Structure 1
């Protein structure tokens, strides 16, 4: 049987060993990304993020791992369980701390049980429950796992479902005009009008990967990111050093879309590129202009996917406005183990009703597809 070790930092694991556990197609589970969050000030204990990675070893060989964190709040998770915490508090119980298997600040589906065999994935889940019980935690959660991993979870892991909006090139579009041709007249006209407004404003775009970006480009994108968080009154988690780290260690995964007027940057979007997927993460602007957000965050990304042969564009969580721009509802999943049997039983029924509600909502959204034949 593999031995279990819980690690408070990824620096204790060589990057090559960690990255041998996955196929490399999802940039968010790469050692460089996760360790970069730890090393460059993005994970703070006072914000509720304490690294607690579960690993399985056979001698000196790492055979399985689950990136995880001890959480003292639900900040930066995107699977909302505030009602659960409130219910615990009503009965004088502590919901926090809990254990979370996820990628911090990243509502992106990807592998969470990094292992070569199904047996090792099952062993990871068993180790997670043992750790939660030994630590007297209220619960353990795994967010945004893949469809393939879903069958690994037993009935003791409650299932939740939500909806995001993803662009998929299942029709084999070759360029943006081909993509637009699939829309009904109304939505096609709206998109053309939005893009024309940006062009008439004299705004152009420069697309650079991490190894093509100057330090000024990286600092500019970080400044746009800070503006967005300031506008919403939230505290920014990422640091400029982390973005520089991504440019150094994951140079072809980092993609910046910089909007410029007269060679002066006025907006930007930061994305990560995976095997066949572009992931939209952050955006910001120093001025407002009609259509600028949609062009920077959506249309430039779609054009990039068409140009580069990527099949999927995930522009981030939430946002019904994405539907009219070609991003269709897609289910995302999470699993939850609850230590208290009575709470687990009550939440089982709550999760089942939530799933039915989400499925009805997705069906309604699908009936309003902007495409003529989808």
Structure 2
């Protein structure tokens, strides 16, 4: 009887990790119905983080909340409550930026006005519930507001030279001359999941690297926002060079100022969902993501899952929407590309669940 652990990341923008697991499992069982399938959908702090915990932690419960989305309109979303544990007797809240202040929530990019307020409002709701620990996934953000929206929702004030609240989003960053943290709510145990190590400012900073993805395409505008982020870091007492401070348009730096701990997302998610324990008794471990390329071997979900499989002497198999020709796949004993199976990228993107089922069947036959 084959024991198979399924631990893919989401296939960004097309299918969640949990749904990818279901499709792979259906395909595998169609060939090997006696297999023991162990679902462990993964995430690295971006899209699908809450869903990954929900699928892997028994007793996890969605907690509905209405927040101000990145388009400035109310949106109904949820955070996840994990059951009480010895180190979190009042439970753990898991909140992701993708579902509260995420770029996928926008019909059009808002480089100057999108902000992270909704993320902070969801955090505040979890604190109101009385949780012992807060786990935050900060991938897929819509803004470059330096986390000012999030901190505002938690009680901070950002003031201009006349003592007036500055505009939200990147638009108001350059006007900030005073930061008032006297009303800021605090939490004692906050873990931040991120898959990037970019500093807040400079050529690898939030504005230069991630700003264009959010519509901040003019180099002069990037320079302006970069300078404003540096000034805000000074006011918050944060070292702008801190690895990960530039994540989520500077939300990483704001969370450092709040007292949070930034950790590699894939590693921490794996720890919290007990992935190593599941892999320890596995014969086969299947992982994957939307695009496996040259960056995928650097702390991303597939490479980390493969390292756990190697430690357990289990076979590691990779399924990806596409696999770049130059990507290093030496960590895996087998690989499959949905683009190749489907015959084209368009077909794979149109119905990823169908092709993941086919991939599961092909892996089982192999």
TM-score (norm 2): 0.25
Q: Which has the higher strand share?
A: 1
TM-score (norm 1): 0.25
